[in-house]
Chains A and B, each alone.
Chain A
């Protein structure tokens, strides 16, 4: 595949890495928040729900700027994490954080819907058979929400691959560090004669997005077959 130059490969590899880690690390949080919103009543639930969905509605630049002043080296959270060796600003980890935050509402939505579709009576039945709450979750709830978890993860992954505004605002556009597919396309379009490279990356983006969607569809169908039937 020598029709892609090293700079282009670098952007693709970085994008996949960022999207992979963004999805993987946010997944447990996504499941926890979805569970909270689907199953628990607590004061301030509307506020939590609003916060989770905020990145969906805010201009991405605003989200990126908020991340910068919070997780930047001098930000309240970034300053605390820096001595521990965790730095987000202008690193690929920052790009992953931005991607995770932007994809989070989509992930939570999908998982929450599948939580709501699980009949709590099945969980009660498991408890009467001797399963503690953790075991009920692992052996009954989790397998039953698996299609939703997969769907949520794929959505978040696809969103992470294409994330641009928050990423470029938070961690800039450094080749090899924070220059993802979207920012690379943007950069190529800014320089004369860059249309060719941009177009090639656009094609790659389309293929990756379609691939992810098809894979999730297939997986979901297989899981549904295993889980459903009742």
Chain B
């Protein structure tokens, strides 16, 4: 089931004029704050009535200004995970979780409290009050509450933004598990979250969609750095080959070995790894006597200079397309340009655990 959104809405000086398609999986609306991400999600939720446009989930039309259709929020069969949780303070965790289920049509109640509680690790919290929960626990309950409404679409508006790094790492795997179950529209301004979760990326800038497509493709595009070049990075799909005794894990990406610090996933599991652009070094010849373990031969796809001294270079390697952030001076000295052969060097220890996720 795919989601199709076309919205045009003016709010003061701000004009939101965006259209995108969200195929199954997680579609991340990616952009800096103020780019219109939340407005767009609220339009899908029906919390905001756009001046013009059309929104449909599968073959169900939620909003169509031309046909005069505006389905009220409570009839849209959604699950919305808000940034601040928004749990009902007067209800227990169990009552919060079952709130949406109570309103779901009988035939559509496909989720089971026991299964969801187990999946989110909140079985022991059921009789507590939201006030007694930690931030991470609250957010897991909020995800469970949305899921138990048996929605046709889950909306998530920066659900991790209010949490510290440790809590983020705790929640991310749950979204990865949801990816296969129900379409998700996920708002984020964090490049790491996008790399970890997105099936499809929709890049928003000043109320407009500037790029949309499969995550690996969009994130490896040197022109797309909506939240700054500093946090740019491409993703590689890999399989865990074996865990070595010296604390490294050997992965395989497109036939190339990739050595990373020990990953949590079992041998044989497929995962995606985010390689930050500033952790990639480019070399024309094959480097010798270098401490870095990962050296991938490839061909430059595109070079893009920014306003500062930096340049963004995308390189097609056997493992996938990588993004490297180098200085413009180096790019010129090396004569980097489309079609030029080079080697991409990735330092193993640069890949942080939160950059490795299941798929």
Contact = CB atoms under 8 A, between A and B. Distances in A.
A121 B47 CA distance: 10
A204 interface: no
A192 interface: no
A210 B220 CA distance: 73
A125 B155 CA distance: 12
Interface string A193-230: 00000000000000000000000000000000011111
A129 interface: yes
A131 B103 contact: yes
Nearest to A128: B80
Interface range on chain B: under 10, 10 to 19, 20 to 34, or 35 or more?
20 to 34
A122 interface: yes
Contacts of A129: 74, 79-80, 99-100, 103, 145-146, 149
Given A130-B103, A228-B131, A229-B131, A125 B73 contact: no
A127 interface: yes
A139 B99 CA distance: 9
Which of B87, B90, B104 has the most A CB atoms < 10 Å from its CB?
B90
B318 to A, nearest CB: 45
Contact of B84 (A121, A140, A228, A229): A121
A79 B326 CA distance: 90
Contacts of A133: 74
A229 B88 contact: no
Interface in B129-182: 129-132, 145-146, 149, 155
A124 B131 contact: no
Interface string B82-103: 1010111110000000011011
Given A126-B99, A227-B90, 15 more contacts: A119-B86, A125-B82, A127-B46, A127-B73, A128-B45, A128-B78, A129-B79, A129-B99, A129-B146, A131-B74, A139-B99, A143-B90, A144-B90, A226-B90, A229-B132
18 contacts: A121-B82, A122-B89, A124-B47, A125-B80, A125-B82, A125-B88, A128-B73, A129-B80, A129-B99, A130-B75, A130-B77, A131-B99, A132-B74, A227-B90, A229-B130, A229-B131, A229-B132, A230-B129
